[in-house]
Amino acid sequence: MVPLKVNRNYRFRLYPSRAQEMKLLETLESCRCLYNYFLGEWEGKDKIPSRYNLQAELPELARENPYYANIHSKTRQYVLFQLYSNLKALSKLKKNGRKVGRVRFKKQGRFKTFVYNQSGFKLIDNGNRYQKLWLSKIGEIPIRAHRKVEGKIKQVFVKRTPSGKWFAILSVETKPKKLGTTGKAIGLDLNIDNYLTDSNGERIEHPHILLKLEEKLKREQRKLSRKNKDSRNRVKQMLKLTRIHERITDKRRDFLHKLSHYYVNSHDIIGVEDLTVRKMMESSYNAKNTADSSWSTFIQMLSYKAEGAGRVLVKVYPKNTTQNCSRCGNRVYKQVWVRTHRCPACGLVMDRDHNAAINILNKALKEVGSVRPELTPVEMIPLPHPMDGACLVKEAGSPNALASG
């Protein structure tokens, strides 16, 4: 069932002038100080005060301190919301058995975003494309919008990356566009040898983006380690290193967006394994490649794109998807280095990842209640020949003899 409304984010690059950038940095710093101020209100108190009680102090605080008056009113409220959201996230992790500390004060340079919620912003266009984003207390900032925004803009996140770039993330509420049915279903087996193998036998090569830029990353990291602390040269070198990390992230996300778009557009039902990537990275000797694969991000992209397009994404339990035979269901144990599935029961020989993808598809179809032929065990006793009378007598009373008779 397609939802009536879906939320979408549009990420556009901002190109502020020098004066506008100073205002943006001042807003970030003011939000950081406000965050630390309210966190300090918790110190020495047995019970954390209500968010609404602290929010009522904001107008008086802005009148007393002109530094906070330079921030849009909704932005000030959202800083308080962020503080309580961080507290809620830590409490949830603690309930799940994770070892957590306390909500910490934000050091200078550690506050990266501020938010205009519901008001204080406007996207300006000239009829063909968007040219500027107006922000209250800051002004009109040139924006590069590479696509049209469809829907009502609910809030705007202004973000500064470590390399000094500015982005506007527009959170939009819109109606989903349901795609036409294709009548196709597919299972995806995520792996490291190839990025994934689907149930049709198609293999998507792993881009290995981190591996390709790893030597350059190490070289720039060595240069950084030789710079004197608190020197200007160290700041410049850190900026170079940051740009390489951002390039890796951008190339990886570009690959994942294109791949998820392809599968959502061409299939009605998509089956994937419900992987616990964090535990895999903790226990695997191949943790670097696992991190470079970003499987959680890929599944997340499949999820929200499938929701908006009216597709069905099914996360199946991954146990024995690699070991079971996709034809007869017989369990064939294989070590991780054995890349070919050979079933001694039915004689099926195929790539192990292709076999796993078919098993994932079968599980997904079973969960959604789609029609799929059930796996039947292979007959281990040879059927008697019709002309062999002795054999018929010998096998009399058996299910095979009754079926053949």
The secondary structure of 298-334, three-state, reads HHHHHHHHHHHHCCEEEEECCCCCCCECCCCCCECCC
Judge whether residue 400 has pLDDT over 60.
no
How many angstroms separate the CA atoms of 349 and 342, rounded?
Answer: 5
One-letter amino acid identity for 132? Answer: K
314 close to 364: Cβ distance less than 8 angstroms: yes
Going by their DSSP bridges, the two strands 312-316 and 269-273 should be labelled as parallel
Q: Which residues pair with 8 in a beta bridge?
A: 172
Note the pLDDT of residue 174.
85
Locate the domains of the chain by residue range.
Answer: 6-174, 185-368
Contacts for 327 with CB less than 8 Å, ≥ 6 apart: 343, 346, 348, 375
**Rounded CA gap, 337 and 355, in Å?**
15
Task: Calculate mean pLDDT across residues 345-353.
Answer: 88
Q: What is the pLDDT of residue 128?
A: 67
Task: Give ∠ CA 316-320-324 in degrees, rounded to 5.
Answer: 115
Is 141 within 8 Å of 133 (Cβ atoms)? yes
C-alpha–C-alpha distance, residues 321 and 385, integer Å: 37
Determine contact, residues 357/188, Cβ cutoff 8 Å.
Answer: yes
How would you label 256-287 residue by residue, b for 16+ Cβ within 10 Å and e otherwise? beebbeebbeebbbbbbbeeebeeeeeeeeee
Distance of CA 373 to the CA centre of its chain: 33
CA nearest to 152, candidates 303, 6, 14, 12: 6
Handedness of CA 75, 80, 83, 89 (dihedral sign): negative
Question: What is the share, in percent, of the chain residues with pLDDT greater than 70?
Answer: 89
pTM of the model: 0.81
Helix 295-309 vs helix 232-266: angle between axes, to the nearest 10 degrees? 40
pLDDT higher than 60, residue 347: yes
Structure confidence at residue 381 (pLDDT)? 46
Smallest Cα–Cα separation from 357: which of 211, 117, 172, 186?
Answer: 186
Is residue 55 scored above 50 in pLDDT?
Answer: yes
pLDDT for residue 1: 55
Helices (H) and strands (E) in the chain, counts: 13, 14
User: Of 22-31, 67-76, 333-342, 373-382, where does the model show the most confidence?
Assistant: 22-31
How many other C-beta atoms lie within 10 A of the C-beta of residue 17? Answer: 11
> Using CA atoms, how far apart are residues 134 and 113, in angstroms rounded to an integer?
17
End-to-end Cα spacing for the chain: 50
Q: DSSP H helical segments within 267-294, as ranges?
A: 277-283, 287-293
| Sign of the Cα pseudo-torsion (53, 55, 61, 67, in order) | positive
Of 130-139, 160-169, 237-246, give the lowest mean pLDDT range: 130-139
- What confidence score (pLDDT) does residue 108 get? 86
Q: Is the pLDDT of residue 188 over 90?
A: yes
Average pLDDT of the chain, as a whole number: 84
The pLDDT > 90 percentage for the chain reads 42
pLDDT score at 335: 86
Query: What value does the mean pLDDT take over residues 57-81?
Result: 87
Q: Using CB atoms within 10 A of its CB, is residue 335 exposed (0-12), middle (13-18) or buried (19+)? A: exposed
CA 375 vs. chain centroid, Å, equals: 34
Tell me what pLDDT residue 222 has: 95
**Does position 379 have pLDDT exceeding 90, yes or no?**
no
3-state SS, 88-135, equals: HHHHHHHHCCCCCCCCCCCCCCCCCEEEEECCCEEEEECCCCEEEEEE
Report pLDDT for 393: 36
- Looking at residue 395, its pLDDT comes to 41
Please state the rounded mean pLDDT for residues 336-353: 87
Average pLDDT over residues 276-290: 77
Task: Note the pLDDT of residue 284.
Answer: 65
pLDDT in tens, 6-17: 888 999 999 999
Beta bridge partners of 293: none
Count the Cβ atoms, other than its own, within 10 Å of residue 58. Answer: 18
Query: Using 50, 70 and 90 to split pLDDT, how confident is the model at 154?
Result: very high
